[in-house]
C-alpha cells in the first residue's frame, strides 16, 4: 500500500509539474500579448496626442482664415460702397463744348451752376472739355458762359470715364 501511496504521490507531483509548466508557458504568452497590447496602446495614445495637436493647429488656422475672410468681405463691401459713392458723385451725362472733336489734351470735367433765374437751365450742368490743362478747360467754359453773376464755374478736374 505504501508503494501505491508513493506512486500516487509521484504521479501527483509529475502532474503538478506538468500543469505548472503548461500554466507558466500560458502565463508567459499572456504576458507577451499584454506587453504588445501596452505598446500598441502607447502608439495609439501618441497618435491621439498628435491628432489633437493637429486639430488645434487646424482650428487656429481656420479661425485665422475666417478672420481674414471677414476682413476681405468688409474690404470688398467698403470698396463696392466707394465705387457706388463715386458713381453717384460722377455725373453720367455731360455737355460738350466742341462740335468737332479735338484731338489735343485730356478730357476735363467742369461743373457750371446757373445762379440767375433767367439762365437757360436750372441747377448744375457738367461739361466734358478737351484741353491741354485745367486752366485752359476752365477758360473755354468761361468763354461760353462769361457772366460771373449768372453762372458759377467750378475748377476743372480730370475726367476718367468708366469702362464698360
Measured CA to CA in angstroms, residue 87 lies from 1, 92, 107 at distances of 124, 8, 18
Q: Where are the domains of the chain?
A: 1-89, 95-158
Q: How many CA atoms lie within 13 A of 113 on its CB side?
A: 5
pLDDT tens for each residue of 81-139: 876 665 556 556 777 766 666 666 788 888 888 888 777 778 888 888 888 888 988 88
- According to the model, what pLDDT value does residue 99 have? 62
pTM metric for this prediction: 0.43
Measured CA to CA in angstroms, residue 136 lies from 8, 72, 90, 98, 113 at distances of 134, 43, 21, 14, 19
- Asked if the model's pLDDT at residue 164 lies above 80, the reply is no
Return the percentage of the chain with pLDDT > 90, whole number.
36
Alpha-carbon gap, residue 112 to 119, rounded angstroms = 11
In which band, very low, low, confident or very high, does the pLDDT at 55 lie, cut at 50, 70 and 90? Answer: very high
- According to the model, what pLDDT value does residue 50 have? 95
Quick one: average pLDDT of 27-50?
A: 94
Can you read off the three cell numbers belonging to residue 62? 481656420
DSSP structural state of residue 124:
E
- Asked if the model's pLDDT at residue 1 lies above 80, the reply is no
H or E element at residue 157:
strand 157-158
How high is the mean pLDDT of the chain? Answer: 85
Amino acid at each position: 500500500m505504501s508503494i501505491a501511496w508513493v506512486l500516487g504521490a509521484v504521479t501527483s507531483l509529475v502532474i503538478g509539474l506538468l500543469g505548472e509548466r503548461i500554466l507558466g508557458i500560458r502565463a508567459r504568452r499572456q504576458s507577451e500579448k499584454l506587453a504588445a497590447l501596452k505598446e500598441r496602446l502607447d502608439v495609439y495614445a501618441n497618435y491621439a496626442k498628435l491628432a489633437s495637436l493637429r486639430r488645434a493647429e487646424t482650428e487656429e488656422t481656420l479661425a485665422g482664415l475666417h478672420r481674414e475672410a471677414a476682413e476681405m468681405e468688409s474690404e470688398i463691401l467698403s470698396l463696392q460702397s466707394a465705387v457706388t459713392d463715386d458713381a453717384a458723385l460722377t455725373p453720367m451725362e455731360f455737355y460738350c463744348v466742341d462740335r468737332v472733336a479735338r484731338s489735343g489734351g485730356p478730357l476735363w470735367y467742369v461743373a457750371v451752376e446757373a445762379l440767375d433765374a433767367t439762365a437757360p437751365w436750372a441747377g448744375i450742368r457738367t461739361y466734358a472739355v478737351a484741353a491741354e490743362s485745367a486752366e485752359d478747360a476752365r477758360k473755354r467754359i468761361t468763354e461760353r458762359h462769361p457772366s460771373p453773376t449768372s453762372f458759377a464755374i467750378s475748377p476743372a478736374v480730370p475726367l476718367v470715364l468708366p469702362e464698360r
